[in-house]
Structure 1
């Protein structure tokens, strides 16, 4: 364990306690902003005071799942999401991989002349049988990264190659495009390799992780107007150092790789990948209200997911790091005061190689993991 990491983690986890300290929805928080930073956890607004620390059992791999036909030729599987009817949507890159030479020094995609990916990139999967139910996405994306399904069952795809966040119907008809196609940038009209999207049900606000180059989160109105942005990279000469050495500030992100929402409380969770932590902020005013980290994350957090089950479950995924370490998923209790109880359980340590995204069902009983290597999606169930 890294020197000093335990004390640091405990301090950050204690700040996270404030996220769940107020009864009611985010609509009431504007008058209680100071209170939620001082109180300890209270009961949920629905009267359910069950906590994630009461979760019993472990998440076990479902073997021989999925069962895709030869019609589906998987490339790097980058993301997984779930429709309101429980059907899964999987995003993959078909025959095009993200490799170190994919972008030039100006962050422009090198294979523009080859056009968008020729094959289907979005696959619908039956969550029980694992069979595909349909697919689309031909000639739409240059290098797709993240997939989100909003409360209206629209699909949002971040295309790191095109530097855009794109909205589609279930059938793949385009509805909205944020960012300037094939032009990286750092102003209000550009992204640079965006990674993830989250959409708030109550306000319909759109949150985009402008992840790799700009390390920021941008908040948009339902019609695509920029409302707020938060975050920046830390000093360039410090970013290569482990987070426990340089102690990045709350808004000093280092690759914002994944987003997840607690819709009831209005909390946005951020996988701050190279800082090895999960940041939490209020969607209303974009204020940082907490952080979760652990030496067991091994310095990186690739993906974050959230389920309202058991009083609130946060799922974190680490990833491969130079020098090795255990690649696995973490079930986290946001109400914990101590590192040893923050991690409720782990999963996938004997299987996962390069996890890239995670999705947990609303009932907390099933977890799906997308991996870029090998090209696959896995299912874990609570037993």
Structure 2
């Protein structure tokens, strides 16, 4: 039986096994998801053989790349306006730029080398990147060890940085994801502050949206809306009430809540989520959700168990 989520203009069928993995490959988990202009879907997995897995719109595996480049903390992936692929690995402190066929074009940061924690210089466990369609500037959330945003030229030269630990506007508590919209607004998922902050390209706060719980995954849809994956409490020792987190929220460009869905309880069956972390939306409005379900739950099971971490929400007409 089909599992339907949402309502009205935001109604979806939730499907688990829409993709076909190569051979006996596993995802382990899927912290990052992106969709290119031809609706090919890029899963940034924690599989060391195929860190980046590319699927066609029907879920067929097309290619994989990145073996030997990443550590075990692959994190964020982005398809830039020019079609290039940016990958962020917080474990080795790098941002890499690739062609869609897997040719490495540029690396920002030195693999395996971090700056001093909380001191502000890039990078200490960066989490995601975004690229301006107008200027090509690259914006990077230095999310675990700096609580900061860094701005780079298209060629990878540092321009400026902003932010520091805190809860005032312009400060951050683990900035986890970032997008740049068509108006060049820099939109940051400020996860542990339970908010999304909006900046201009010089780092000035222009808006703050608070109607969100641990915003984690985030992407800009072709409709201009912002699709957000929310986490539950991070550990069993510090749980959140039912209905908080492990859900998807859709916000308007003004931050208004348009839709929110996901069972109040966590799970791996269609209709349920554990830890939405990567988000992608194709040209038809279908949503692809990557989850860090092994980190949040499966890794602490006895024995450790890989749980569903990649699913599709098929938009209903």
- Residues 259 and 303 of structure 1 are in contact (CA less than 8 Å); yes or no, is this contact kept in structure 2? no
Counterpart of 2:162? Answer: 230
Counterpart of 1:139? Answer: 68
Q: How far is 1:346 from its partner? A: 1.4
Counterpart of 1:356? Answer: 277
Counterpart of 1:274? Answer: 192
1:1-383 aligned at under 5 Å gives the runs 56-94=9-47, 117=48, 119-127=49-57, 129-142=58-71, 143-186=73-116, 190-234=122-166, 248-262=167-181, 264-283=182-201, 285-294=202-211, 297-298=212-213, 300-309=214-223, 312-321=224-233, 322-324=238-240, 325-326=242-243, 327-335=246-254, 342-349=256-263, 350-362=271-283, 365-373=285-293, 374-383=307-316
How far apart, in 1, do the equivalents of 2:24 and 2:134 lie?
38
The answer to which structure, 1 or 2, has the higher relative contact order (CA under 8 A, 6+ apart) is: 1
Per-residue deviation, residues 223-280 of structure 1 (Å, max 9, x unmatched): 111111111112xxxxxxxxxxxxx211110111111221x21112111110011111
SS of 2:115's equivalent? Answer: coil
- Residues 206 and 220 of structure 1 are in contact (CA less than 8 Å); yes or no, is this contact kept in structure 2? yes
Return closer, same or farther for 1:218/1:346 CA change in 2, 3 Å cut-off: same
SS of 1:302's equivalent? Answer: strand
SS of 1:58's equivalent? Answer: strand
Counterpart of 2:266? Answer: none
Return closer, same or farther for 1:138/1:233 CA change in 2, 3 Å cut-off: same
How far apart, in 2, do the equivalents of 1:335 and 1:174 lie?
36
- Residues 122 and 150 of structure 2 are in contact (CA less than 8 Å); yes or no, is this contact kept in structure 1? no
How far apart, in 2, do the equivalents of 1:286 and 1:226 lie?
14
Q: How far is 1:189 from its partner? A: 6.0
Instruction: Give the number of the structure whose residues are more often helix, by fraction.
Output: 1
SS of 2:292's equivalent? Answer: strand
How far apart, in 1, do the equivalents of 2:161 and 2:8 lie?
36
- Residues 121 and 137 of structure 1 are in contact (CA less than 8 Å); yes or no, is this contact kept in structure 2? yes
Larger radius of gyration: 1
- Residues 17 and 311 of structure 2 are in contact (CA less than 8 Å); yes or no, is this contact kept in structure 1? no
- Residues 195 and 208 of structure 2 are in contact (CA less than 8 Å); yes or no, is this contact kept in structure 1? yes
- Residues 77 and 375 of structure 1 are in contact (CA less than 8 Å); yes or no, is this contact kept in structure 2? no
Per-residue deviation, residues 326-372 of structure 1 (Å, max 9, x unmatched): 22000112346xxxxx2211133341001111122355x21111012
SS of 2:19's equivalent? Answer: coil
- Residues 163 and 182 of structure 1 are in contact (CA less than 8 Å); yes or no, is this contact kept in structure 2? yes
Which ranges of structure 2 fall in alignment gaps of 5 or more residues?
1-6, 264-270, 294-306
Alignment: residue pair count: 280
Per-residue deviation, residues 198-234 of structure 1 (Å, max 9, x unmatched): 1112111111111111011100011111111111112
Return closer, same or farther for 1:359/1:351 CA change in 2, 3 Å cut-off: same
SS of 2:77's equivalent? Answer: strand
Q: How far is 1:63 from its partner? A: 4.8
Per-residue deviation, residues 89-142 of structure 1 (Å, max 9, x unmatched): 111111xxxxxxxxxxxxxxxxxxxxxx4x221100112x21211112211101
RMSD over equivalenced CA pairs, Å: 2.0
How far apart, in 2, do the equivalents of 1:288 and 1:230 lie?
11
TM-score by length of 1: 0.69
